[in-house]
Amino acid sequence: MRKTKIICTIGPVSDNYEMLHKLALAGMNVVRLNMSHGQHDRCAQIIKSIRTLNKKLHHPVAVLIDTQGPEIRTGDLKNELNLRPGDIISVVARGEADVESSSIHINYEDLINDVTIGDKITVDNGLINLEVLSKEERTMQCRVIDGGVLKSKRHVNLPGIRVNLPAITEKDRRDIAFAIEQAVDFIALSFVRSPDDIRELKELLGDKADKIKIIAKIEDQEGVRNLEEIVKEAHGVMVARGDLGVEIPLEELPIVQRRIIATCAKYGRRAIVATHMLESMIENPTPTRAEVTDVANAVYEEADCIMLSGETTVGKYPIKCVEVLDRIARAIERTRGLRFSDDLVMDNDKQEIAAAAVKLAESISAKAIVVPTRRGLMANLVTNCHPQGPIICAFTNDSRTRRLLVMNRNVLSYRINFSSDPEKTLGTAARIMMQRDEFNAQDKVVVISDALSQHGVEAIQIRQLGDLATKAGDLEELGD
């Protein structure tokens, strides 16, 4: 079984039912809908397709909506600008249209106030870089440091500068309302700069805040500075290496990635590594050796998920990309990872009990840790301990809980009805597990749960799958 989960961004080459089915069979665990490009009607159709698929698949595919966030972009150009190093260019804040060949317009009104002379403006994901030479009321003079051909509507970064933009834009609010209406599983909030941004989204979610989990995207220096408090507030964190790689020195990016994953492990949060994982496979059928090593590092660091973007939205080989991630992850997972979870904060008794169950399972070489759970709490606590050998098999009677656990590293999640007789529930779980190649009747497992106790008391047991399976009643595995 592959422990590391795979997220696929859905786009023009993958947004039909047949391709979604193929991606799921290849190993996709979560679909990502990028609201920077997605329209509500098309996204609703994709979600409907996933819901249909989940009735047929043995393991569900979860849905993540990714907000656009407060983007800064250049304006429309009548003609492309060929910028050469050393050129002096005018940059205008909030222009309607370019009127001269030496002018760039940027759609951010406070640009002049936020930057100072000597600051750097980065355009088109770092391909073009400008240095601010002078400022007037609405116009700046800038020197081209790194040149290139500038087209319309290019992304702009202001590295190290605190921009005066809301964490959640009006467009984001409409997209969040859509996410609530569609009952998605996760919302990834772009450009999270402080824990207050997460709290604002929780307020918008209202009574759905416990059901739709928030992933904080770390994309700038302020987010990195406030990392620990952001991690504590969110369900998980995405290392969004596109914008983050522009906002910080490139040589610092691997260090920051490792720090984010380690901090998530410390506080028991999910960690996602995203962007440019197999970028060359947008055009080519095989990855570069450097890309293979990059993916391997994320798996070795024990990230919960690795994510594809352009590879599965516009690329020529979306299925192959998922298969490549699957093969790399399986190979690396055969060796011990970095185990950042050794520093896990034990901030409550339940986490201590989960850690004890994991330690017991590892000491007796148990094949699995079986976790009956209604809301997923105990399954999350066991995941936080990153067991090296045992597989975490979570059994719930709730469809949403089952999907939320899809993002957890090393978790297989199932939905069954719970019997009033705990032995029948565990027997059904054992019978379902033994249908997989990984398990047989002689396997020892550790059971941990408070869902089977009349008084909600956590219990840890050592059981044998074959013995448990004989106690199964007439319960069956349920679909989504």
Could you give the residue numbers annotated as active site?
32, 73, 217, 275
Rounded to whole angstroms, how far apart are CA atoms 98 and 103?
Answer: 6
Read off φ and ψ for residue 109, nearest 5 degrees.
Answer: -65, -35
Within 8 A by CB and 6+ apart from 204, the residues are 168, 173, 176
Would you tell me how many other CB atoms lie within 10 Å of the CB of residue 16? 14
Rounded to the nearest 10°, the torsion over CA 245, 250, 252, 257 is: 40
CA 140 – CA 132 distance, rounded (Å): 7
- Locate 100 and state its tokens: 């001269």
Chain-centre distance for alpha carbon 97:
37
**DSSP at 388:** S
For residue 66, give every residue at least 6 positions away whose Cβ sits within 8 Å of its Cβ, in sequence order, or none. Answer: 9, 32, 33, 34, 35, 36, 187, 188, 190, 217
From the list 236, 241, 248, the residue with the least C-alpha distance to 277 is 241
**Tokens 């994982």 -> residue:** 277
Using an 8 Å Cβ cutoff, are 53 and 18 in contact? no
What is the distance between the alpha carbons of residues 156 and 361, in angstroms, rounded to a whole number? 50
Rounded-to-integer distance, Cα 366 and Cα 360, Å: 8
Two tokens at 439? 């398990």
- Say if CB 94 and CB 138 are below 8 A apart: yes
CA distance 122 to 148: 12
Q: What is the CA radius of gyration of the chain?
A: 24
Q: Output the CA angle 410-415-416, nearest 5 degrees.
A: 130
Contacts of 308 (CB under 8 A, 6+ apart): 6, 7, 8, 9, 277, 278, 318, 321, 322, 325
Starting at the earlier edge strand, list the strands of the sheet with 139-146.
103-106, 88-93, 139-146, 128-135, 120-123, 156-157
Residue type for position 67: T
Would you report the helix, strand and coil content of the chain in percent, each value rounded to 5? 40, 25, 40
